[in-house]
Every structure is written in C-alpha cells, then in structure tokens.
Amino acid sequence: MSGRFGFSIDLPVRNDWRNVDLMRSSIQSCFTAVFRDLDGCHAMSMITGELLENAMKYGHWGEREQVFRLRITGDSAHATIVVENPASRASGHVERLQQCIDWIRGFGNPRDAYRARLREIADADPGQSRQLGLVRVAYEGSGVLSCHFDGSVVVVTVELTL
C-alpha cells in the first residue's frame, strides 16, 4: 500500500441484485470519509456499480458458484477497480466485452464513444440490449478499461486517475 492515503478493499460479493447498490453506496461512503474530492468518490462508486451490474447480468452462474470478487486499490492519486466473475466463452459475453473495450479505444476520446453509443440507443428499438455501462465507465468515470479471460473467470480492470 503506498503512502498515507493508500487503500485496499478486497471482498467477495453474493450474486444478488440488491448487493449492487449496497456495494456502490458503501464504496461512495467509504471514500467520502477519506477524500475531499467528492467527484472522484462518485466516479469510483459509479464504476463499481456498473462493473458489478455487468458481472451479475452476464456472468456464468452455476448452482454452486454464486459469489464473485471486487477489489479496489490505490492512493490519493490513482485507483484500480477490479471485478472478476465466472464466465463462459460459449455465452459470447467474453467476446462482447473485449469488442466493447476495443470499440471504445477506437474513438479519439471516450466522450465521442459515449455519444456514438447514445445515438445507437436512440435509433434502436426500446427493448434492445444497450451495453452502455462500460462506455459510461470510460466517459463519465474517465476509467481506462481492460479485460482478461483465463478460461473460466473474466477479470475486468478499470484504472483511473483521481
């Protein structure tokens, strides 16, 4: 842990939708107690919320495997948020995840990617899948996304400067 303001959170999370907002608001409260920068605290909690939502929506949940992991580390200048959850290549989720990250990187800046995704949503049928969460992480949270798949677990990492 680096410096006076170094922090590290490492938690198992039960796959229950109510836990998304419990965790998100807890993260916000935790960091509000530590840092003066409320916008940075909101960015971290929003990113956490969107990553947890994705893990619950698209994770490969068997009967026994109902827990996944959240890790947040950093210091006063930088944070890394990691969510890892069971995944299956056959579901197409891992491929879509990587495609989305590559798609965001293909834009000059995250704002352009976000606006492009909003336009797609506006032009689509209301019921269609929107996949806005990760683009929001990049735009509103200024987070730099990456992901890794080891055959059974997908790890999504977001780096942000505070």
- Measured from the CB atom, the residue of 82 and 138 that comes closer to another protein is 138
CB of 118 to another protein, least distance (A): 6
- Measured from the CB atom, the residue of 25 and 152 that comes closer to another protein is 25
What are the residues binding another protein (CB under 8 A)? 17, 20-21, 24-25, 39, 42-43, 45-46, 49-50, 53, 56-57, 111, 114-115, 118-119, 121-122, 126-127, 130, 132-133, 136, 139-140
CB of 61 to another protein, least distance (A): 14
- Measured from the CB atom, the residue of 8 and 42 that comes closer to another protein is 42
CB of 4 to another protein, least distance (A): 25
CB of 151 to another protein, least distance (A): 28
- Measured from the CB atom, the residue of 3 and 13 that comes closer to another protein is 13
Which residues, at least 6 apart from 9, have a Cβ–Cβ distance to it below 8 Å? Answer: 27, 30, 70, 71, 72, 73
Q: Are 51 and 72 in contact (CB under 8 A)?
A: no
* Strand ranges across the sheet with 78-86: 7-14, 67-74, 78-86, 153-161, 144-149
